[in-house]
């Protein structure tokens, strides 16, 4: 075969062409080069090491931190007729022995190993006695100490370069900033490696950021109106919020499950397995969930708390729509999120630099929330990639109105300044807004605040309107949470120019109920629609797939993904030759399932 890489892609995986940089990466590694690959989730990273492992002689050793997913990864390869196995702590001794022997006999194409396992004497010794095609270091950003996925064992992996200088190494991640990339290159001794940085755009994901009002109702609306029966992930900041949100959704008839680090290992494994195996499960989770989850048909990712950084947000939302079909990334955030984040940073341990970094990351996240330009443009700019306005985010689909908020900002700032002088007390946002709106109450009089000059000067805005002003001032860094004492709100240096009238401010208009409904229908992700008869065939194929998957004890998508079944339903192949032309049907799957597929559509 003149082109072994392309041949493998078509024969084993059933795809007709490489995507993006895949070919260059694969050929580079096949020729023995080291590579650092940055590609968004769903970009097709796995093939970048799986194909070289098949083409080169010896076994490809894949280092992956995700023990719970190794079984699925190996099952998926086995379905393709690839000889794969894993070594990790969940195995019985006899299984370990069998895998080791298969490796030594040169029978394995791919071997998955957890990093802590790899660095044991026994494992290094085993590897030294076999033949290795390459090392693939998956989720390479785990080596980064500032990231939330840091795994200390990853720091030991630079050792591979010393011990096996002639074996190519390929590190892969979906984390995109230049800083993280440099950190990975340094810590894994990949400075000499060729870097492949793909476009991070995920055009099929519709990004939407909404103002938090009644977040549970908003969430329910998103699920019931836009994503009924779809798989999705809902991210919350705390364990208790995960629990209460999952409970609420279950009561509302949604198939929701909780996931956070406080649940027992078994519960977590079980919930994860159900998410992967059953259709239409909504996982309510902390960020402990999701890395390496290769479920292709997650249709929405919702955040009901503000993520800590754009990097995190991008990775989490990236778990939607890996199959390339329309998906939604939805975030609800409000004033309280901003205040809470600042408090958390102030209270966090660690040195000044660490706090500064955290603060900077939240600031970037807030700027994204408050932007009046294309969300995707802002997101990608954060990763140093420039694009035109996308047409598939809320600000593109229904551009927000702006208003001159200079005077309102001055009023808000004056009030904050007055209260700051009484900083023995902690006055929350609600009290500040009550003063502006001139609310006469017991509490107000007990502080004597009804006699402040700012009392009642802000009747032109509703309470919600003022919350919007304050939120945007916090996002702009003109108001901050006091780092000492009571966490009162205070003015920053940046506010001076506005107070003096030297700088004017333009704010996003808070959406009113009326135009919210209008924008909702316009800005939601389109759904894939098949003609009615094809839809019926598709449903039959899905039923067939579910029964096969159950029999084999694997997630549905490991048998075939939706896109493949949809193509079968649409094109109605008549024989094996027709089936061969469908994306996602390779030699092995044709043998195993060809007859069933033909029978299923001729019914």
Q: What residues make contact with Zn ion under the rule CB under 5 A?
A: 374, 376, 390, 393, 396
3-class DSSP state for residue 333? strand
Report which secondary-structure segment, H or E, holds 256.
strand 256-259
**Total residues belonging to the chain:** 603
What are 549's two structure tokens? Answer: 């998957």
Contacts of 367 (CB under 8 A, 6+ apart): 378, 475
Residue window 294-323: x/- pattern of binding to ligand ADP, with contact defined by CB under 6 A: x-x-------------------------x-
Of 333 and 538, nearer to ligand ADP (C-beta) is 538
**Residue 390 binding result from Zn ion, ligand ADP, none, given CB thresholds of 5 to 8 Å by partner type:** Zn ion
Residue window 563-592: x/- pattern of binding to ligand ADP, with contact defined by CB under 6 A: --------------------x---------
Decide if residue 41 touches ligand ADP (CB under 6 A): yes
Question: Could you tell me which of 527, 557, 523 has the C-alpha nearest to residue 80?
Answer: 557
Measured at the CA of 174, the angle between CA 173 and CA 176, to 5 degrees, comes to 100
3-class DSSP state for residue 277? helix
**Residue 322 binding result from ligand ADP, Zn ion, none, given CB thresholds of 5 to 8 Å by partner type:** ligand ADP
Smallest gap from Cβ 199 to Zn ion, in A, equals: 15
Of 194 and 201, nearer to Zn ion (C-beta) is 201
Instruction: Please tell me the distance from the alpha carbon of residue 327 to that of residue 324, in angstroms, as a whole number.
Output: 8
Decide if residue 45 touches ligand ADP (CB under 6 A): yes
Smallest gap from Cβ 42 to ligand ADP, in A, equals: 5
Smallest gap from Cβ 138 to ligand ADP, in A, equals: 8
Smallest gap from Cβ 297 to ligand ADP, in A, equals: 10
**Residue 310 binding result from Zn ion, ligand ADP, none, given CB thresholds of 5 to 8 Å by partner type:** none
Of 43 and 312, nearer to ligand ADP (C-beta) is 43
Contacts of 463 (CB under 8 A, 6+ apart): 433, 437
Stretch 258-297 residues interacting with ligand ADP (CB under 6 A): 294, 296
**Residue 47 binding result from ligand ADP, Zn ion, none, given CB thresholds of 5 to 8 Å by partner type:** ligand ADP
Instruction: Please tell me the distance from the alpha carbon of residue 456 to that of residue 433, in angstroms, as a whole number.
Output: 9
Question: Could you tell me which of 77, 79, 72, 83 has the C-alpha nearest to residue 593?
Answer: 79
Which residue from 4, 44, 262, 280 is in contact with ligand ADP, where contact means CB under 6 A?
44
Instruction: Please tell me the distance from the alpha carbon of residue 301 to that of residue 524, in angstroms, as a whole number.
Output: 13
Look at the alpha carbons of 431, 433, 439, 440 in this order and tell me if their dihedral is positive or negative: positive
**Residue 396 binding result from Zn ion, ligand ADP, none, given CB thresholds of 5 to 8 Å by partner type:** Zn ion
Contacts of 94 (CB under 8 A, 6+ apart): none
Instruction: Please tell me the distance from the alpha carbon of residue 321 to that of residue 303, in angstroms, as a whole number.
Output: 16
**Residue 393 binding result from Zn ion, ligand ADP, none, given CB thresholds of 5 to 8 Å by partner type:** Zn ion
Which residue from 21, 30, 43, 369 is in contact with ligand ADP, where contact means CB under 6 A?
43
Which residue from 39, 70, 113, 310 is in contact with ligand ADP, where contact means CB under 6 A?
39
- CA distance readout (Å), 583 to 82, 195, 234, 571: 18, 29, 31, 12
What are 253's two structure tokens? Answer: 């008839």
**Residue 248 binding result from ligand ADP, Zn ion, none, given CB thresholds of 5 to 8 Å by partner type:** none
Q: Which residues bind ligand ADP (CB under 6 A)?
A: 15, 18-19, 22, 39, 41-47, 294, 296, 322, 561, 583
């Amino acid at each position: 075969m003149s082109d072994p890489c392309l041949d493998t892609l078509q024969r084993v995986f059933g795809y007709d062409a490489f995507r993006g940089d895949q070919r260059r990466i694969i050929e580079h590694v096949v020729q023995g080069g080291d590579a650092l690959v940055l590609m968004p989730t769903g970009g097709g990273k796995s093939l970048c090491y799986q194909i070289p492992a098949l083409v080169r002689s010896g076994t490809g050793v894949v280092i992956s931190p995700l023990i719970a997913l190794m079984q699925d990864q190996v099952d998926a390869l086995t379905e393709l007729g690839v000889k794969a196995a894993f070594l990790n702590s969940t195995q019985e001794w006899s299984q370990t022995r069998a895998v080791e022997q298969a490796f030594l006999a040169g029978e394995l194409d791919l071997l998955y190993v957890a990093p802590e396992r790899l660095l044991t004497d026994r494992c290094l010794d085993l590897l030294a006695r076999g033949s290795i095609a390459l090392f693939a270091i998956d989720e390479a950003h785990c080596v980064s100490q500032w990231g939330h996925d840091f795994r200390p064992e990853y720091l030991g992996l630079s050792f591979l370069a010393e011990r096996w200088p002639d074996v190519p190494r390929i590190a892969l991640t979906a984390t995109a900033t230049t800083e993280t990339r440099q950190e990975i290159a340094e810590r894994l001794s990949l400075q000499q490696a060729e870097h492949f940085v793909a476009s991070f755009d995920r055009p099929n994901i519709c990004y939407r950021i909404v103002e938090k009002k009644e977040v549970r109702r908003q969430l329910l609306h998103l699920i019931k109106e836009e994503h009924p029966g779809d798989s999705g992930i809902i991210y919350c900041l705390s364990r208790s919020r995960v629990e209460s949100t999952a409970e609420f959704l279950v009561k509302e008839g949604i198939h929701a499950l909780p996931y956070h680090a406080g649940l027992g290992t078994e519960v977590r494994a079980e919930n994860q397995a159900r998410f992967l195996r059953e259709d239409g499960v909504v996982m309510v989770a902390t960020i402990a969930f999701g890395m390496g989850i290769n479920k292709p048909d997650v249709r929405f990712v919702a955040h009901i708390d503000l993520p800590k950084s754009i990097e995190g947000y991008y990775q989490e939302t990236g778990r939607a729509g890996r199959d390339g079909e329309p998906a939604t990334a939805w975030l609800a955030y409000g004033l309280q999120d901003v205040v809470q984040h600042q408090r958390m940073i102030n209270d966090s341990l660690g040195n000044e630099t660490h706090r500064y970094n955290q603060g900077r990351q939240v600031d970037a996240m807030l700027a994204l929330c408050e932007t009046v330009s294309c969300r995707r443009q802002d997101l990608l700019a954060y990763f140093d990639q420039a694009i035109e306005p996308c047409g598939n985010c809320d600000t593109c689909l229904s551009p927000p109105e702006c208003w001159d908020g200079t005077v309102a900002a001055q009023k808000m700032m004056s009030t904050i300044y007055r209260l700051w002088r009484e900083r023995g007390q902690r006055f929350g946002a609600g009290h500040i807004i009550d003063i502006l709106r001139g609310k006469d109450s017991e509490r107000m009089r007990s502080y004597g605040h009804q006699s402040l000059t700012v009392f009642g000067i802000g009747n032109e805005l509703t309470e919600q309107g003022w919350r919007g002003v304050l939120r945007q001032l916090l996002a702009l860094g003109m108001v901050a949470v006091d780092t000492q004492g009571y966490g009162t709100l205070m003015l920053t240096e940046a506010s001076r120019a506005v107070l003096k009238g030297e700088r004017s401010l333009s704010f996003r208009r808070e959406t009113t109920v009326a135009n919210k409904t209008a924008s909702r229908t316009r800005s939601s992700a389109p759904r894939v629609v098949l003609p009615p008869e094809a839809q019926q065939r598709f449903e039959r194929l899905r039923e067939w797939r579910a029964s096969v998957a159950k029999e084999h004890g694997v997630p549905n998508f490991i048998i075939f993904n939706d896109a493949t079944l949809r193509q079968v339903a649409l094109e109605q192949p008549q024989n094996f030759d027709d089936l061969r032309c469908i994306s996602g049907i390779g030699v092995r799957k044709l043998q195993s399932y060809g007859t069933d597929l033909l029978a299923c559509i001729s019914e």
